[in-house]
Amino acid sequence: MKTYISPWPQAAKLPDFPRSVAVLGATGSIGVNALKVMARHPELFTVMALAGGRNGTLLAEQCARLRPRYAAVLDDAARRELEAGLPAGYSPQILVGPDAFTTLAALDEVDTVLSSIVGAAGFEPTLAAARAGKLICLANKESLVLGGHIIRAACHASGAVILPVDSEHNALFQGLMGLESDDEIARLILTASGGPFRGRDAASLAGVTRKQALAHPNWSMGAKISIDSATLMNKGLEVIEACHLYGLPVGMVHVVVHPQSIIHSLVEYVDGSQLAHLGMPDMQVPIAHCLGFPRRLGVDVPRLDLARVGCLTFEEPDLAAFPCLGLARDAYDAGPSHPVVLNAANEVAVAAFLDGRMGFADIPATIEAALDRHRPVDVSTPEAVLDLDRAVRDEIRRALWPDAD
């Protein structure tokens, strides 16, 4: 079976309970939801390490509640905030800087890593967890987009297991349960909400504001993924994520727009059956599924009442108004270095949009131009991936803001 990265129950070697967990990105949207899930089941989880980025104050509150042995932040300013917020008599080991996250991901005392840092910064910690043979609950889709081939190989060598937290991939994982052979799969169908601008044409998108783009109709998420949802790049990254997780060609991964976000994705089998996963759009559900797998854990989420929802609708994605989805599919097909370029260009463009330095329509244009300039390079090592990631970011910044320092 090719699809070893997400285990079927019979193949997976999973840590026993209580699981000893490192949460990377604890102060983000996924991290906060994961802490809620674990707080509801204290007998099943020991929070061993909490890592935040620059929000030392929130991390201190989380540490005060959960008393992890380790904490990590990105810089000294966040470290000072963290230290100032810790209660007397409790002093976790504090690590600072980007290397801290890879260190925590590979700690001997940790058996389960929730990878929920945003962006390419999640690649090295996820790889460290893969090399160290951990159970990886993966929210950080960008790490597979950058180097899914490298992470797969590391999992294969160490016995590490990845379970997908991303709701669509978690739905697929559940729909693939009990699969006997890969050739029984006809296709995977990812659902997309369509984001806040569904139904609008390209011309009307040019002037949309940051506030409008951040206002996702169904999900409450971090800023970067919210913009990715508005451009449909999120779905593009998810197509690539699905190809890596399930070892399938991009032609077998389809997308349908489903504005209610109740069906989280579908697996179509060769007999024409489609298995759908339904639930309320709340990330606690897939997070609990991964952290507790193969157990089902209770979560404090409103129950889905289909009679109240009334109707579920579906439509084709509009690739003309939202070119990012097509750019991502093409990038995956073009070879392993193109997705690195796609992701780096997207991260620079989204950050520039959020800072007010770029319009919404400039996001796909920036990515397309970077992909057009790119000539394939070897990205078979993590160093090569990271070099290319850096080079693309520098090139775009120089081209767009030549006067910046």
Binding site for ligand NAD (CB under 6 A): 25-31, 52-55, 74, 101, 116-118, 121, 139-142, 166, 219, 221-222, 224-225, 283
Using CB positions, name the residue nearest to ligand NAD: 28
Q: Out of ligand NAD, Mg ion, none, which partner does residue 367 contact, by CB within 5 to 8 A per kind? A: none
**DSSP-derived secondary structure for 392-404:** HHHHHHHHH-TT-
Q: Does 318 bind Mg ion (CB under 5 A)?
A: no
Q: How far is 274 from 110, CA to CA, in rounded Å?
A: 38
Query: How far apart are CB 102 and ligand NAD at their closest, in Å?
Result: 10
Q: How far is 296 from 285, CA to CA, in rounded Å?
A: 10
Q: Out of Mg ion, ligand NAD, none, which partner does residue 284 contact, by CB within 5 to 8 A per kind? A: none
Q: How far is 364 from 321, CA to CA, in rounded Å?
A: 10
Residues with Cβ < 8 Å from 10, sequence gap 6 or more?
none
| Nearest residue (CB) to ligand NAD, 26 versus 95 | 26
What's phi and psi for 273, nearest 5 deg? -65, 140
| Nearest residue (CB) to ligand NAD, 118 versus 230 | 118
Q: How far is 45 from 330, CA to CA, in rounded Å?
A: 41
Chain Cα centroid distance, residue 386: 18
Query: How far apart are CB 83 and ligand NAD at their closest, in Å?
Result: 17
Q: Out of ligand NAD, Mg ion, none, which partner does residue 30 contact, by CB within 5 to 8 A per kind? A: ligand NAD
Beta-bridged to residue 190, according to DSSP, are 255, 265
Q: Is 114 strand, coil or helix?
A: strand
Could you tell me if residue 6 is left (phi over 0), alpha (psi between -120 and 50 degrees) or otherwise beta?
A: beta
Q: Out of ligand NAD, Mg ion, none, which partner does residue 25 contact, by CB within 5 to 8 A per kind? A: ligand NAD
| Nearest residue (CB) to ligand NAD, 32 versus 186 | 32
Query: How far apart are CB 84 and ligand NAD at their closest, in Å?
Result: 17
**Contacts with Mg ion, 148-167, as mask; x by CB under 5 A:** ------------------xx
Query: How far apart are CB 34 and ligand NAD at their closest, in Å?
Result: 9
> The tokens of 392 are what?
């693309």
| Nearest residue (CB) to ligand NAD, 58 versus 257 | 58
Going by the DSSP 8-state scheme, the letter that residue 218 receives in this structure is: S
Q: Does 142 bind Mg ion (CB under 5 A)?
A: no
**Contacts with Mg ion, 61-90, as mask; x by CB under 5 A:** ------------------------------
What's phi and psi for 23, nearest 5 deg? -105, 110
Under the rule (CB under 5 A), what is the footprint of Mg ion? 166-168
